[in-house]
Amino acid sequence: MLSFPNAKINLGLHVLRKREDGFHDIETLIHPIRMHDSLEMIPSDGEIILKQYGPALPVGENIVMKAYKLLKKDFNIPAVDIHLLKHIPSGAGLGGGSSDAAHSLVMLNDLFNLDISPAELEILAAELGSDC
């Protein structure tokens, strides 16, 4: 299964109240842009493997791996080979990691027929980060 998580830019941001968890409620207007990563997931008989191309992050810290581990914990999904080609620069405020994480959850849901609703996927995404 192949997907192309896209980058986004914030066209407007209004910071509202500070929440008890330390984050702020916000109103924002975002727009997807043509820049994207490439994300492929293939079922595997062995252990999970993440191959990342482009600017590298340690595998244990990659949000795609965190998304896999989250669904593995709750749904005991089998291993996959993951190929992530990064085009969206890390730390540039373009939402690359968040987009990768959201696409990972949707792809794993589809790949293994987990029947997770969109509302439940949003809850799972929030566990990975506030902007997933």
The CATH number of residue 96's host domain is: 3.30.230.10
pLDDT at 60 over 70: no
Residue positions counted in the chain: 132
Q: What is the pLDDT of residue 92?
A: 85
Q: Which of 66, 69, 72, 131 is catalytic?
A: 131
Instruction: Find the Cα–Cα–Cα–Cα dihedral 2, 33, 7, 36, rounded to 10°.
Output: 30
Q: Which of 8, 37, 86, 100 is catalytic?
A: 8
Q: Is 110 a catalytic residue?
A: no
Give the range of the structural domain holding residue 59, as residue numbers without chain letter: 2-128
pLDDT at 49 over 90: no
pLDDT confidence band for 124 (50 / 70 / 90): very high
Q: Is 86 a catalytic residue?
A: no
pLDDT at 76 over 60: yes
Give CA–CA dist 126/132, Å, rounded.
6
| Total domains in the fold of the chain | 1
